[in-house]
Amino acid sequence: MQIGLVGLGKMGGNMRERLRNAGHTVVGYDTNPDRADVDSLVELVDRLERPRAVWVMVPAGGATQHVIDQLATLLKPGDTVIDGGNSRWTDDEKHAEELGKRGINFVDAGVSGGVWGLKNGYALMVGGDKETVDDLKPVFDALKPDGPYGYVHAGKVGAGHFSKMVHNGIEYAMMQAYAEGWELLEKVDSVDNVREVFRSWQEGTVIRSWLLDLAVNALDDDHHLEKLRGYADDSGEGRWTVEAAIDNAVPLPAITASLFARFASRQEDSPQMKMVAALRNQFGGHAVESAKK
């Protein structure tokens, strides 16, 4: 299958490679010319055969809106735009309406996998009408992990990004639990090898997970996380999850507390946030801040 890909950063660049490895033709555009296959969105669209499919992989908000506005003037009825960034689901509904007036299809795809996606595949949560989603299935099959899981058509437009938002809210709470446990183990005198305690949990325990494996990786690199400042940013999806919970009267005490813990990290050098920062760096390549000397 042929597809255009806009945004070739940490995720988009690896997605292009994974798609090509699966035999698909990918025409990529990025504002960084060293990454791009073409010099402009106009050239990208011209290189694609109709009906075209263009996957947008740029930061949520203004950047995504700018690209979609441009594509709306370049694409033709029957073409499709896929937003694979971390857009808010309410923006998906707006984009689908805007493009729909021009006869252009819209699909939203929540994507998880971070910097490991090229090797392991990307978990995909997709929203849109069935016919359009089915037409894109070869692309989704190439990007998803091997095996029966890792892909879902979650529902109508917005369902993909809403599902990914909830996924990230759960991720916040899981990371916070590991971070709190790590700080408590580090605090007591009786435990003198916290890293190996974490490593021992990787087999046979009910809390083993990929996040635990990444925590061990981080501790192997920095035994007591002394190189990191206890600061962890929030991407926005944690906030949106809590806001959606309020709108729907659904109690989310653990996820809400984990979001507030991120805010606390901005006020002081939080030991727990060292672990959260280390985990975000391990699975997503998110930036970390060095500890002050």
Local confidence band at 9 (pLDDT 50, 70, 90 cut-offs): very high
283 falls within a domain: no
Q: Find the CATH number of the domain harbouring 76.
A: 3.40.50.720
Q: pLDDT-derived band of residue 235, with 50, 70 and 90 as boundaries?
A: confident
For residues 139 and 211, state if they share a domain. no
Give the pLDDT confidence of 236-278 residue by residue, as tens digits: 889 999 999 999 999 999 999 999 988 887 766 677 888 888 9
Structural domains counted in the chain: 2
Tokens of 71: 């594509």
Considering the domain architecture, whether residues 234 and 125 belong to the same structural domain is answered as: no
Residues 23, 135 share a domain: yes
Final residue belonging to a domain, choices 123, 157, 191: 157
154-173 pLDDT per residue, tens: 999 999 999 999 999 999 99
Rounded Cα distance between 207 and 178, Å, is 9
Q: What is the pLDDT of residue 266?
A: 77
| 293 belongs to a structural domain | no
Q: For 134-156, what is each residue's pLDDT tens digit?
A: 999 999 999 999 999 999 999 99
Outline where DSSP puts E strands in 64-198: 80-83, 105-112, 123-127, 151-155
Active site residues: 164, 171
CA 226 distance to own-chain centroid: 27
208 lies in the same domain as 93: no
> The domain containing residue 249 runs over which residues?
165-269
User: What is the structure's pLDDT at 268?
Assistant: 63
State the pLDDT at residue 58: 96
- Predicted pLDDT at 109: 98
Rounded CA-CA distance 288/69 in Å is 33
97 within a domain of the structure (yes/no): yes
Residue 288 resides in a domain: no
pLDDT digits (tens, 9 = 90+) for 60-100: 999 999 999 999 999 999 999 999 999 999 999 999 999 99
pTM value is 0.87
197 and 153 assigned to the same domain: no
Instruction: Name the residue with higher pLDDT: 114 or 41.
Output: 41
Residue 142 lies in a domain: yes
Q: Assign 293 a pLDDT band (cuts: 50, 70, 90).
A: low
Residues 173, 153 within the same domain: no
Please tell me the distance from the alpha carbon of residue 133 to that of residue 87, in angstroms, as a whole number: 18
Instruction: Based on the fold, state whether residues 32 and 143 are members of the same structural domain.
Output: yes
